[in-house]
Each structure stands twice: as C-alpha cells, then as structure tokens.
Amino acid sequence: MLEFRLADIGEGTSEAEVLRWLVAEGQEVAAFQPIVEVQTDKVTTELTAPVAGTVRQIVAREGDVVPVGSVLCVIEDGEARQDEEAKARRRVLASPAARRRAQELGVDIARISGSGPLGRVTLEDVERAAHTGVEGGTEAKTSPEVPSSRDEGLRGEAPPEAVRVPLRGIRRAMRRAMAESHRTIPQALHLDEVDVGELVALRETLNQLLAEEGEHLTFLPFFLKALARALRDHPRLNAHFDAERDELLLFSSVHVGVATDTPEGLLVPVIRQVEQKSMRVLMRELSEKRSRAQAQALTQDDVQGATITVTNHGALGGIWGAPIIPVPQVAIVGFGRIRDEAVVRAGSVVARPVLHFSIAFDHRVLDGGDVLRFSRQFARYLEAPSLLLAELS
C-alpha cells in the first residue's frame, strides 16, 4: 500500500484545500493520471497518481484544508515492477490548464522539463514542447464542475430563507489573506487626484493607430509605467517588510501584482520587470494574464513575487477605494474611474477628466511624507504622459 501525501507544490506552500476528487474509492488508476484537484493560497492544480494501482481509501475529503505531508489517499500498487519506459517517467507537477493543453497538442507531459517552481510544467513549456516535436501524451481531460450555492447544501441549522455558501478555493484564500493583512499591518490611506486630460487625448490618438493592427490600449499600461518611474526615486514603496527580522527588503525591479476580478474571486497575476517593458508589451501581457485569470489557468509562477500591487476599481465604475495591502508588501495603489469634473484653469472653471487614486501603506515602515512625495511624482507622469512615450514600441 502506498500513502499518497500532499507535497510542497509551490514556493512557500504550507497547506492546500482539497477541491475535487477525480477518482473514487475502488477505482483503478494509471501512473501519472490526475486524481485530485487542490487549491493552494494562489492557484488550482491537479495532482497525479505516482503509481498504477487501485484507490483503496480517500483520506482527505473535499473541502478539507490539509498541511503539506498529509495523507490524501491510499493506493494499492498494481505493478510489481515498471517497464523501462515507465522507469524514465516521473511524477509531473502541472496546472490543469497545462495538462489540458498537452492533451490537445498530443504532447507527453511527462517528457517535458518544467520551468516553474519545483520543475512545474507551465503552459509556455507545453507550447514550446509542441513546437520542438515532443510526441505522445494521453493525459486525461477533466472539466471541473462549479457547484451552485444550493449544491453546496445546507450544512447545520439555518433559517429557512437562508442558504449556506461555504467559502472554498480562491474565496477561502482571500478571506485568510485579508484577515492576516488587517491583523498584522497598521494600514494608513492616502487619497489623491490628477488631471489626466493630456493622457486621455494621447490614448485616443494612439488607439486610432493601433486599431489598424487590431489592438487596443487601456489606461492601465500608462498607470504601470508611471508607477515604475515614480518608484525608481521612491524605492521604499517597492518593498517587502520582514517583521521577524525588522528589516525592509528593497527591490531593484518592479514586479506589479494586478488584482483581477474573476467569477471565482480575486486573483493577482504578476507583471514582472515593468520598468524594462514597453507599453505595447505591457498591453499584451496584461490582456494575456487577464484572460488566463478568467479561465482559472494561472500557474503558481504567475501569481508569486509581486513587490507592489495595484487594483483598478475604476474598471467596475468605482471612483474611490480603500484597498488592503497584501502581506508582506508595504503598499497598494487603487485607481478609480476617470470622469469629467469642474476644475479651475487660468481663473476659469472648466470641465476636465480627473483620475482619483488611493494608496494604502504600511505605517510601520512608511510615513505620510514618503507616500505624498511618491504620489506627486506619480501624478506628474500622468499629467505629462509624453514622458512615457519613448517606451511605447
């Protein structure tokens, strides 16, 4: 009998929630067949059987949160020894999206050398393998069903007019992350606004040109470039705080987590080295990451390593917001909707497009002066966006 245990499937993973079993007790499974879907604090992934055999006991039930090293199930090994081909195979860490794509392309995922954490196979690895002639691949394709609130069932006693909806998967991870942030960080909030008339006009002009190529530039790439430029002179906001050592970790590159609204909850894919990327590259990468977030196809590597986070509540019509800082970061910037407002120019009241933005910061390591100076420099880049144009192409 083999006890199949939860391994560390990502950087810093300490536990995972069992979302869905893909097999039942008594069912025979093949080696490397996906058998269970789990949710870490950031991504969903499928775990595969290490050997061929029969599932004799499922120990961790759906909805259980189990620490690394816990027994998930017990498998009776059905083969005394493996043939030579099986000896060359290995247990593969890969996201459900990567496995599905490997099956579609006819790629043997066990032969792919993963570039993600702990050798995890990413979507990019699968695409690369397909173009270099890797053959084989018979991974099982599964389509996770999302239960409705009523399918989750009424657990325990509740008023007849109420339906209990357990927080699972991403929403459970959100709940825990937000609670940790409020419990550990003394958060202060700075509110500001900026006249973005020149930015609005510039974006309209650029989109007329980009339309010929079938592309569309949103405001977010401008926001990210202005953010990276301002952080260059105010690096204390582009940092992590190590509370145990009482140290601030300052980063030379800007890796921005972009809070993304999805039907399953908030996901935060990371755009790396923003200071080195053109706005055209940022435009394409933001679109690609958002699409993968909506499809629940982000990998562990996609969502880790952010040095600062942004949230665009203006995309849903919001004007002001009070975002919560992700631990261990020290700041998060929220962008509101751009709207016309009355402002005074040369002694006259005129209508101008105004962006409201907010900065939540960790008051243990930053004070109001730090944030105000950063805010003013960030606003100046948006007031004069031609300063960012050199990096459009």
For residue 265, give the amino acid letter. Answer: G
Of 182, 216, 240, 363, which one is the catalytic site residue? 363
Mean pLDDT across the chain, nearest whole number?
84
Q: Which option is the CATH number for 182-391: 3.40.1260.10, 2.30.40.10, 3.30.559.10, 3.40.50.150?
A: 3.30.559.10
* CATH class assigned to 2-149: mainly beta
pLDDT of 147 strictly over 50: no
CA distance 172 to 70: 20
Q: How confident is the model at residue 319 (pLDDT cuts 50, 70, 90)?
A: confident
Q: How confident is the model at residue 81 (pLDDT cuts 50, 70, 90)?
A: very low
Lowest-pLDDT choice from 59-68, 77-86, 348-357: 77-86
Model pLDDT, residue 245: 92
What does the pLDDT average to over 12-30?
Answer: 88
Q: What is the pTM of this model?
A: 0.68
109-122 confidence digits (pLDDT tens): 878 877 776 677 88
pLDDT of 89 strictly over 60: no
Every domain of the chain and the residues it spans: 2-149, 182-391
Best-predicted range by mean pLDDT (42-51, 204-213, 339-348, 370-379): 370-379
Q: How confident is the model at residue 133 (pLDDT cuts 50, 70, 90)?
A: low
Model pLDDT, residue 86: 47
Give the closest residue to 252 by CA, choosing from 271, 276, 268: 276
DSSP-derived letter for residue 325 is P
Alpha helix positions (H), the chain: 84-88, 96-105, 123-131, 149-152, 169-184, 197-210, 220-233, 279-294, 368-383
* 356 catalytically annotated: no
CA distance 77 to 58: 15
What does the pLDDT average to over 122-142?
Answer: 62
Query: Within 13 A of 129's CA, how many CA atoms are on the CB side?
Result: 27
Reading phi first (left if > 0) and then psi (alpha if -120 to 50, else beta), residue 265 is in left
